[in-house]
Amino acid sequence: MTHPRIILPLILLHGAAFGHAGAPALTKSLFFDDTHVGAVKDARRAHEKEATSPETTRYHLSGILYTSPGHWKLWINGKQYAPKAFPELRVISVSPRRASFILRLKDRDVPFVLGVNEAFQAPS
């Protein structure tokens, strides 16, 4: 069980990451020194830039529900995988801890493997 004293600072620091648009600006902290506050601000800016960048194609394996080799479900970028939802992405294999994919680009196919909570940045 996560201790409540740990959760509160994380929510305050990462409010934007939890979908709280307009999260308050972080200026001072009781828990972190100025170096860490600066690192959090930089991470927030990078996250906002990445989220608004139209040319960025990123695939994040959010979760795997695996019961057997032929029975599994994947969540990519927070959405349940379906061929219609991700027509450019083909699943090659799934295990309890990772999944193998092929990304179909205009000029080539790019194979990659992701574990849970890992991401792949598609080449431009």
Residues 15-35, mean pLDDT to the nearest whole number? 62
Beta bridge partners of 94: 99
Higher pLDDT, 22 or 111: 111
Query: Does pTM surpass 0.85?
Result: no
User: What are the DSSP E strand ranges found in the chain?
Assistant: 58-68, 71-76, 79-80, 89-94, 98-104, 109-115, 119-121
Beta bridge partners of 114: 99
Residues 32-40, mean pLDDT to the nearest whole number? 80
- Which residues have CB under 8 Å from 119's CB, separation 6+? 58, 59, 60, 61
* 17 pLDDT tier (thresholds 50, 70, 90): very low
Residues 80-91, mean pLDDT to the nearest whole number? 92
Whether the per-residue pLDDT at 95 is higher than 90: the answer is yes
pLDDT, position 45: 77
